[in-house]
A = this chain, B = another copy of it.
Amino acid sequence: MGRWKPDARGRLEQAAMELYTERGFEQTTVDEIAKRAGLTERTFFRHYADKREVLFGGSSALESLFADTLAGLPSAVTPMAAVATTLEAVAAEFRERHAFARQRQAVVSANTELRERELAKLASLSTAVADGLRRRGVKEPAACLAAEAGIAVFKVSFERWTASSGRRDLSTYIKETLAELKALTAGT
């Protein structure tokens, strides 16, 4: 085993993604993930609560990143510009994660329960963004609507990026999709 081994968490993630892709999420057990990673079940549970958390474990960090970025912007920034800047900050987190994101998207898409979980996570993100905008003094319905529109842009951009070769980064897709939304709504 001469090749470089990433840390335990990284090895578990990699093993899990391989198995979910090869056999499907349902058919994979925690024991198999640990074995493939050359680790024990106990080590798995030190890093993840269950096998679903390998796919969704990053979502609370993402929610905090949205909230913190919104809170740190000058008060003069308009609601949609604040959402755009926040999406860029989030995109930066995914810079080295195209292979993982692509594989994850395929696993989630293939399973109804995981797709519903993903929708629930996106809905909490939207709530977090709306909360952040209200704390910036944005009134309703602008806060909820800017948040929903922002998450729609994020969802479409993320799907385009994961379907791509990864040569262009997520932030490029976000910029394009935001511009597209502006053009679409201007035409009504």
Asked if A116 is at the interface (CB within 8 A of a chain B CB), the reply is yes
Q: For the complex, is A1 an interface residue (Cβ under 8 Å from B)? A: no
Query: Which chain B residues lie closer than 8 Å to A182 at the CB level?
Result: 185-186, 188
Indicate if A54 sits at the interface (CB-CB under 8 A).
Answer: no
The number of chain A residues touching the other chain, given as a range, is: 35 or more
Proximity string of chain A (37-81) to chain B, C-beta cutoff 8 Å, 1 when within and 0 when not: 000000000000000000000000000000000000000001111
Interface residues of A (CB under 8 A from B): 78-81, 84, 115-116, 119-120, 123, 141-142, 144-146, 148-149, 151-153, 155-156, 159-160, 176-178, 180-182, 184-188
Can you report 24 A-B residue pairs in the complex whose CB atoms are below 8 A from each other? A79-B184, A79-B187, A80-B184, A80-B187, A80-B188, A84-B188, A115-B120, A119-B123, A141-B156, A141-B160, A141-B177, A141-B180, A142-B180, A142-B184, A144-B156, A145-B152, A145-B156, A148-B155, A148-B156, A178-B185, A182-B185, A182-B186, A182-B188, A185-B186
